[in-house]
Structure 1
Amino acid sequence: MRARSAGCEPGRCPGSAKMPSMAEQPRLLEGLDPEQRAAVIAPRGPVCVLAGAGTGKTRTITHRIAHLVERGLVVPQQVLAVTFTARAAGEMRTRLRALGASGVQAQTFHAAAFRQLRYFWPRILEGRMWPLMDSKFRIVVQAANRLGLSTETESVRDLATEIEWSKASLIGPEQYPAAAARTGRSTPIPPEQVGKAFAAYEELKNRAQVLDFDDLLLHTAAILEEHSEVAEEFRARYRSFVVDEYQDVNPLQQRVLAAWLGERDDLTVVGDANQTIYSFAGAAPEWLIGFPRRFPEATVVRLERDYRSTPQVVSLANDVIEAARSRPAGARLRLRGQRADGPDPDFAEYDDEPAEAEAVARKVAALVQQGVALSEIAVLFRVNAQSEVYEKAFADADIPYQVRGGERFFARTEVRQAMAALRSAVPRADPAGEDGLPALVRAVLAEVGLTAEPPAGGAARERWESLSALVDLAEELAETLPEPDLDLARYVTELEMRAEAQHPPTVEGVTLASLHAAKGLEWDAVFLVGLVEGTLPIQHADGDNAAIEEERRLLYVGVTRAREHLHLSWALARASGGRRHRRRSRFLYSLVPDGHPAALPAKTKQRAGESRTKQSTKPRCRLCATPLSSTMDIKLGRCSNCPSDADEDLLSRLRSWRSERAKQLKVPAYVVFTDATLLAIAEQRPADESDLVAISGIGATKLERFGSDVLALVQGR
């Protein structure tokens, strides 16, 4: 029998109930498009939602769960929704609470398994459950040492990665050499040695009576498979299952899911095969693509209306993924942009990485001048090592940034101190909060170092940004919660829930992140950088068609993170002045528009560059006439070797004015003007609007909003 399909005719879903008319729609169906509504009202049983990037999949599945609860088809406590990150699970719980389905369990695979194992372990295995290791590193070192293998950090990490892949793929130590050969896996040492190290690791771990994260899933599956009374008790508790990001399941997770389900089929899965980017960890899209074959009665819904990105971004994303050599039917989603038109994606080629990074910093500054928040801008790259040159460029340009994948927000020392101070303040806090919750939070955080004005930079500025983000969260709650619920205790509870879910408040700064770390996130403006052969696709993927296609999907994920502004760039050399031997990524050849400078043959491009150089003049220092190259020097109009001639009194007045304007606008001071821009104004003392816009970083938007004030200050009025 064929799987039921949805999304074919507005208002109807073959094999399901007739779509309610607009007048009949219950609350949970309002604002959903026909395909989303079809997924929400699909009957209990197997449902497969093929959801493209930006199509509202989380909204759809949370509304489906809430709809089933509201209609009395399932009790909230009997629903288990699983996803792959604590942050995604936390967001799902938050949405479900708002929809009236707060009893639903929304967790990661590992968190759900840990909870079940802790409950059933004493009954089946007797005694207390073995403790969970924070890291397998120490025991892998012991296993490597026993076999005379390298115990260098990188070698140990490589071995740990192979052990994790094996366990996620349900491959034992003895099977590893054959499996590595069969899958063409690139092993750090001979496969036979990896297998022996894997066996030694398991022996040492069991002797120490500890568990790793994969053991949580393995033991949970085994208990349910081998003990019918446990399986019956579990299945009486949980009757309906939802799996988000189903394209990312590995064989071990699928085994756990099968053990949870038993012979039942009340399962909703959501995923996009075009976003499968974790095959190195054992993930495979076959479970998603093959869902209708395993469940012939399944309702299949395709979400292709992209509400995130402009049609220009959506078009480029479609071009990226449709160039794939082969795509299974379940992966052939073609996004349709639903937003108004925006700017065309921008392509740029640079001589070297520092030049590329400085150009990105200038473009970021221009976007900020246009009103784009720093927290809505991201720079994405293939490998983490690429971040360094951008960190330097942003530091030089006085642009705040945060590196995603670094220290977690709630693990930062200042955030832990702040939360302790807020907890201790709850008993003595005025419940009503005479000046409101944000003022109360700010007063408490002043005790741990929050100042009215941000420090100039460095670690002190980072600490200030973290504390300021906690105040921003208080302001967000003040706007969304009814007044009776708005007190310090409720705020602290929200913080603790976010800490548990790893869902930090937004810190105002450009995000630097790898393409893998960016999965599931989105920004108004995205810069995809370093797009050269050997980096994207990564060098070790060459020659392996499956690996190359996964690299293409990585680019697709990067493109679909952008809502409006999208910039793609590459550099021909790594270091400044280095040999320009690198080539742009093969994935870009069909994307760069005809006639674009980046599409020209190398010799033609070189001649065009020489012509432009002859016709143009580089900015020069207004004091010594030396050509300027760095972003900061161009902004100040002088080279770093020349002394500042700033009017200190004017600079002081500018800073005071900026502070007042920032308070009025309720934004950080640097959003009005950065310290570097104020210094440039105090040095160059513009006489009129044309002088003012000649200062790098001051565009039409800033001129319109602040120009008259600044000129008045310069003229002493």
Structure 2
Amino acid sequence: MASASSPKTRPGLLDGLDPEQRAAACAPRGPVCVLAGAGTGKTRTITHRIAHLVGSGHVAAGQVLAVTYTARAAGEMRTRLRGLGVDAAQALTFHAAARRQLRYFWPRVIGDRPWDLLENKFRYVGQAANRAGLSSETEVLRDLSSEIEWAKASLVGPDDYPLVAARTQRDIPAPATQVAEVYRNYEKLKTAAQVLDFDDLLLHTTAVLEEHGMVAEEFRDRYRCFVVDEYQDVTPLQQRLLDAWLGGRDDLTVVGDANQTIYSFGGASPRPLLEFTRRFPEATVVRLERDYRSTPQVVALANQVIGAARDRPAGSRLKLVGQRERGPEPRFAEYDDEAAEAAAVAGRVRELIDGGVAASEIAVLYRVNAQSEAYERSLSEVGIPYLVRGGERFFARAEVRQAMSALRMASTDQNGSDLVTTVRSVLSRVGLTEQPPAGGAAKERWDALLALVELAEELAATVEDADLLRFAAELEQRAAAQHPPTVEGVTLASLHAAKGLEWDAVFLVGLADGTVPITHADGDDAAVEEERRLFYVGVTRAREHLWLSWALSRTPGGRKNRRRSRFLYGLIPEDHPAARVARAQQNRTPGLKARCRVCGGALLETLEVKLGRCGRCPSNVDEGLLEQLRAWRGERSRELKVPAFVVFTDATLVAIAEQRPTDDRALVAISGIGATKLERFGAEVLQVVRASVAS
């Protein structure tokens, strides 16, 4: 394991760095902590630091080990290092580095052939679950696998698992004692088969270095300088391996941003980053806050998002400063339902592409993978290719394929019930329950099945006498149509999968409470704050165009009982229709039922709330105005090629004709008129009302 020779320092190596980047690159050998905000050039900074240390003779290139979170990030780091003439420096993920080291030292420490790496642990987890008396359904095994991964990353063994799970209030798929038994059986099965999982790579490498002095000495003679990227997401297991690598030395550079800690569910913690100077009091600390990625408008919004976080530690108080030219303001949009939201996003994507933005530079980001179906469909309908990142296409998911098979079989023996009831009945046999599971893989499966019910509701509302056979055929057609050409396209990804990536245009969709933040985060302040950081990560993926949207209902015609995400409060400009709606809603007395504007009695029925009066009180509808409103609605529905009720329902027109609003505030006070309707039709409706009143 010989060291490579050091290249000479290149003239002008540091010329392209800003003052803070240069300070980090030129910091003396020893502990260095780089607090790097989103888009501040951290990869550029740390690769130039490595090149500077090597070129200055502080360390040989082959003695440098840089580790990061993903293989993609490691590949980018290697490419940049090669461009700087530092070919021999190692840039790997924690797991890749550990695998190389373990393979090298295995014959000396173990003595026989290296054990094989287990690419998929489901088989062994399934056997372990059976022994513990648990289900071997896919979603259960997925949740058990995730729990075992969390335990190993957190350095928690099977015996300690129940106590630690209770103390940390883990959302677990089975009683803690049974999960511990699955964990214990899984480890026994792996050992008997002589295979290792990915976490074992880190555990065994750490054990080798801690327990075999000669091995540790050889390793530490080879590697003298360590760089850790994305340090805010290091796990206890990774930190222990890093400590074993260091062996009491301090030639360590860490780079991270506590504002982007989004993997706590997997055992990650920003604590090592935030406590770095406590461990190394003499450490050099550099803050990178100049954002070269995003326009000042996007940067300002990002600062507002993270600035609202509670109890931010000192090490996380980075405030980005945009360095690019000004760009368009972020756009906010509210929709009646998810289908309308997805259609609008597809329309805006088409405008961007027609305006010269490459499809590969556009992303639609959502909180959970089950949300992708609406956007797969809407993009397909307008002929825009897309790629699903970090998750399967909706119709490729195992639970969706199983559901479609069950629906096809049931369609040969339909019993005459209405379509939606029949679909719910069939899907109840494959996992659709009345109430959603608390979270995890089971919740994602439930969401996907519910999405099929909503497609049935949509078909029933648009196709007269639609039956199960027609619905099954509709699903087959949708599945066939949603295989885009194998070319670059718009990226569809979850917010977690988007970490480390960036695009010219980003659509953050589904920003409703219960989704962002996710339902199971409620009641846990730490979990809600992690959801805020996840939202912040989504905002900071955008270079120029940023679109933030939400829907009031899941399905067309459904109850509009959703609220936009709490993270959006204070972000929406005062003159935006959604802000005007919010102010009108805030002006209503909280905690009281809606009251009749005539007699003051409580309004109990949906129609009464819509009209603003109870059924006992007489209508004071202006029949002439009502006819004019109906005529206007007919014209608009023909222009838009949509049913009339999509513009406004009959009840909404009656409410307008009774209350005769003359400004935006009065108009949005009418139940059912939200920001989207106000922005799209408000001026026209008020013109009709004013003209009628004047006449």
Instruction: Give the TM-score normalised by structure 1.
Output: 0.69
Match of 2:522 among 542, 546, 552: 542
Matched, 1:572 2:557: no
Q: Is the 8 A contact 2:380 2:484 kept in 1?
A: no
Match of 1:333 among 305, 315, 318: 318
Amino acid at match of 2:153: A
Q: Is the 8 A contact 2:637 2:643 kept in 1?
A: yes
Matched, 1:293 2:293: no
| Aligned residue pairs, count | 512
Distance 1:57 1:266 in 2: 18
Look up the match of 2:561. 581
Matched, 1:462 2:485: yes
Deviations 1:126-182 (A, max 9, x none): 101111101111000001101111111111111111100000000000111111111
Deviations 1:621-647 (A, max 9, x none): 79xx95479xxxxxxxxxxxxxxxxxx
Match of 2:217 among 226, 232, 245: 232
Look up the match of 2:495. 515
Matched, 1:194 2:179: yes
Deviation at 1:26, TM superposition (A): 3.8
Look up the match of 1:595. 575
Look up the match of 1:469. none
Deviations 1:316-340 (A, max 9, x none): 1000001011110000000001111
Matched, 1:116 2:96: no
Distance 2:635 2:175 in 1: 55
Deviations 1:378-436 (A, max 9, x none): 1000001101000100000111111112479xxxxxxxxxxxxxxxxxxxxxxxxxxxx
- Judging changes above 3 Å, is the alpha-carbon distance between structure 1 residues 461 and 542 closer, same or farther for their aligned structure 2 residues? closer
SS in 2 for 1:518: coil
Matched, 1:315 2:338: no
Matched, 1:274 2:297: no
Matched, 1:220 2:205: yes
Distance 2:641 2:527 in 1: 48
Distance 1:251 1:614 in 2: 67
Deviation at 1:601, TM superposition (A): 3.7
Look up the match of 1:524. 504
Distance 2:499 2:176 in 1: 31
Distance 2:21 2:372 in 1: 38
Deviation at 1:69, TM superposition (A): 1.3
Distance 1:315 1:245 in 2: 23
Higher mean C-alpha deviation, range 175-184 or range 588-597: 588-597
Q: Is the 8 A contact 1:619 1:628 kept in 2?
A: no
Distance 2:629 2:181 in 1: 61
- Judging changes above 3 Å, is the alpha-carbon distance between structure 1 residues 367 and 197 closer, same or farther for their aligned structure 2 residues? same
1:604-623 aligned at under 5 Å gives the runs none
Q: Is the 8 A contact 1:246 1:271 kept in 2?
A: yes
SS in 2 for 1:28: coil
Give aligned-pair identity as a percent.
69
Deviation at 1:579, TM superposition (A): 1.2
- Judging changes above 3 Å, is the alpha-carbon distance between structure 1 residues 460 and 601 closer, same or farther for their aligned structure 2 residues? closer
Deviation at 1:122, TM superposition (A): 1.0
Amino acid at match of 2:248: E
Match of 1:553 among 517, 520, 533: 533
Look up the match of 1:53. 38
Deviation at 1:184, TM superposition (A): 1.4
Distance 1:377 1:218 in 2: 39
Distance 1:373 1:158 in 2: 38
SS in 2 for 1:62: helix
Q: Is the 8 A contact 2:385 2:484 kept in 1?
A: no
Amino acid at match of 2:562: R
Q: Is the 8 A contact 2:298 2:542 kept in 1?
A: yes
Q: Is the 8 A contact 1:401 1:512 kept in 2?
A: yes
Q: Is the 8 A contact 1:130 1:209 kept in 2?
A: yes
Deviation at 1:600, TM superposition (A): 3.0
Look up the match of 2:450. none
- Judging changes above 3 Å, is the alpha-carbon distance between structure 1 residues 127 and 579 closer, same or farther for their aligned structure 2 residues? same
- Judging changes above 3 Å, is the alpha-carbon distance between structure 1 residues 628 and 74 closer, same or farther for their aligned structure 2 residues? farther
Distance 1:616 1:362 in 2: 23
Look up the match of 1:350. 335
SS in 2 for 1:380: strand
Deviation at 1:558, TM superposition (A): 0.3
1:358-507 aligned at under 5 Å gives the runs 358-406=343-391, 462-463=485-486, 465=487, 507=488
Match of 2:309 among 315, 324, 329: 324
Q: Is the 8 A contact 2:369 2:391 kept in 1?
A: no
Look up the match of 2:593. none
Look up the match of 2:456. none
Distance 1:270 1:260 in 2: 17
Amino acid at match of 2:299: V
- Judging changes above 3 Å, is the alpha-carbon distance between structure 1 residues 203 and 593 closer, same or farther for their aligned structure 2 residues? same
Look up the match of 1:90. 75
- Judging changes above 3 Å, is the alpha-carbon distance between structure 1 residues 618 and 551 closer, same or farther for their aligned structure 2 residues? farther
Deviation at 1:366, TM superposition (A): 1.2
Amino acid at match of 1:33: D
Q: Is the 8 A contact 1:46 1:299 kept in 2?
A: yes
Deviations 1:551-582 (A, max 9, x none): 00000000000011111000011112211111
Distance 2:64 2:83 in 1: 16
Look up the match of 2:147. 162
Amino acid at match of 1:553: R
Look up the match of 1:659. none
- Judging changes above 3 Å, is the alpha-carbon distance between structure 1 residues 573 and 206 closer, same or farther for their aligned structure 2 residues? same
- Judging changes above 3 Å, is the alpha-carbon distance between structure 1 residues 616 and 593 closer, same or farther for their aligned structure 2 residues? farther
1:66-215 aligned at under 5 Å gives the runs 66-215=51-200
Deviation at 1:598, TM superposition (A): 1.1
Distance 1:400 1:197 in 2: 43
Deviations 1:333-367 (A, max 9, x none): 00001111111111110000000000001111111
Distance 2:311 2:178 in 1: 35
Q: Is the 8 A contact 1:277 1:553 kept in 2?
A: yes
Q: Is the 8 A contact 1:618 1:628 kept in 2?
A: no
Deviations 1:507-561 (A, max 9, x none): 2x11110000000000111000000111110011100000000000000000000
Q: Is the 8 A contact 2:259 2:533 kept in 1?
A: yes
Any unmatched runs of 5+ in structure 2?
A: 1-8, 394-479, 586-609, 612-625, 645-695
Look up the match of 1:688. none
- Judging changes above 3 Å, is the alpha-carbon distance between structure 1 residues 281 and 220 closer, same or farther for their aligned structure 2 residues? same
Look up the match of 1:305. 290
Q: Is the 8 A contact 1:248 1:284 kept in 2?
A: yes
Distance 1:202 1:300 in 2: 41
Instruction: Give the TM-score normalised by structure 2.
Output: 0.71
SS in 2 for 1:582: coil
Q: Is the 8 A contact 1:542 1:548 kept in 2?
A: yes
Deviation at 1:73, TM superposition (A): 1.5
- Judging changes above 3 Å, is the alpha-carbon distance between structure 1 residues 86 and 601 closer, same or farther for their aligned structure 2 residues? same
Look up the match of 1:262. 247
Deviation at 1:595, TM superposition (A): 3.2
Deviations 1:1-46 (A, max 9, x none): xxxxxxxxxxxxxxxxxxxxxxx99421111100000001111111
Amino acid at match of 1:596: H
Amino acid at match of 2:369: N
Deviations 1:220-242 (A, max 9, x none): 00000011100000000000000
Distance 1:132 1:42 in 2: 39
Deviation at 1:614, TM superposition (A): 7.8
Q: Is the 8 A contact 2:153 2:235 kept in 1?
A: yes
